[in-house]
Amino acid sequence: MRILLWHVHGSWTTSFVHCGHTCLLPTLPGGGPWGRGRAGRGWPATAEEVPPERLRGAGVDVVVLQRPEELALAHEWLGRRLGTDVPAVYVEHNTPKGDVPDTRHPLAEQRDIPIVHVTHHNRLLWDSGHAPTVVIEHGVIDPGHRYTGELPRAAVVTNEPVRRWRTTGTDLLPAFAAAAPLDVFGMGLGGLGARLGLGPDRLVPVGDLRQEELHDAMAQRRLYLHTTRWTSLGLSLLEAMHLGMPVVALATTETPRAVPPDAGVVSADVDALAGAVRRLVAEPALATELGKSAREFALAHYDLSTFSRRWNALLTASTSHQDG
């Protein structure tokens, strides 16, 4: 199939463009949210950059939407109505905001455009109205077992933790930094240590690394710490499990489903989680054992082949329905 798809979430799109279809990625001279194309990613040649003016003749079979604004944009660029002239599905990456659990989804009235939730938690909490819904959980390209855990430190992956604060659980970091030094990876880390009152002996903002570098750096740390209060399910958590890292995580949103008891510690009790961090730093053999279980579970439940199979079935059904 030939799929119109915007590059919105890099990690999710990396998995999607490996599903075996031709993905047409809009590109604009200034890039930006509506035209970043591949953005230098090492994706397969089937992920093609296409200027908007060429989309009408590009033979698009289906549109994969990820933001409400893309409905009007796709209509303008294709000259076809979504859900009637051309099949479309909408991927909901995010947890609802506002009056949860009564938040109405922007596509709740679109009976002809299915909403694909990336977690069961998302589908449960969004009011999706009359729109058909399905859950297709994340699939991760296996980075391989890289865990060494040689550094008695915790790895944290988060973006813009100062701005997002309670959403990302940034306010909880001092409690964990008292249990073990933290290395924080991600974008927008400026001023993090100062805002928390933590020096480099307790917290190091490493910054944003390329994926290969990030995976190697994470795997050197003794454990992965997941502090986000409100998100669908951070792909960095699943990547950490694929690497063979033990997990200490808040019991929020989809995390209790994604992290089994033998892969780490999941709890809403921050003191208990800090205790788990302290124990894993002190017991590398236990950390290694939990990390092996984490990897086994991730490979069985969040693998790329299952993700691809489920997406291919949905896309085939969507285009078959349109043809009928």
Whether residue 125 contacts residue 215, with contact meaning beta carbons closer than 8 Å, is answered with no
Average pLDDT of the chain to the nearest whole number: 95
Strand bridging mode 88-92 / 22-26: unpaired
Question: Would you state the pLDDT for residue 321?
Answer: 63
Q: What is the DSSP string of 111-149?
A: TTS-EEESSHHHHHHSB-TTS-EEE----B---------
The Cα 36–Cα 67 span in angstroms is 15
Quick check: helix, strand or coil at residue 8? coil
Helix (H) or strand (E) run with residue 270 in it = helix 270-282
The Cα 300–Cα 24 span in angstroms is 30
Question: Would you state the pLDDT for residue 250?
Answer: 97
Same fold, 2-139+304-323 and 151-301: yes
What are the pLDDT digits (tens) for 18-69?
999 999 999 999 899 999 999 989 999 999 999 999 999 999 999 999 999 9
**DSSP code, position 71:** H
Q: How confident is the model at residue 303 (pLDDT cuts 50, 70, 90)?
A: very high
Flag whether pLDDT at 324 surpasses 80: no
Question: Would you state the pLDDT for residue 323?
Answer: 56
- Phi and psi for 258 in degrees, rounded to 5? -85, -25
Q: Among all chains, which residue has been given the structure tokens 């909880």? A: 172
Helix (H) or strand (E) run with residue 6 in it = none
Question: Would you state the pLDDT for residue 225?
Answer: 98
- Phi and psi for 42 in degrees, rounded to 5? -85, 60
For domain 2-139+304-323, give the fold. Answer: Rossmann fold (3.40.50)
Q: Where are the domains of the chain?
A: 2-139+304-323, 151-301
What are the pLDDT digits (tens) for 175-222?
999 999 999 999 999 999 999 999 999 999 999 998 899 999 999 999
What is the reported pTM? 0.92
Assigned CATH class of 151-301? alpha beta
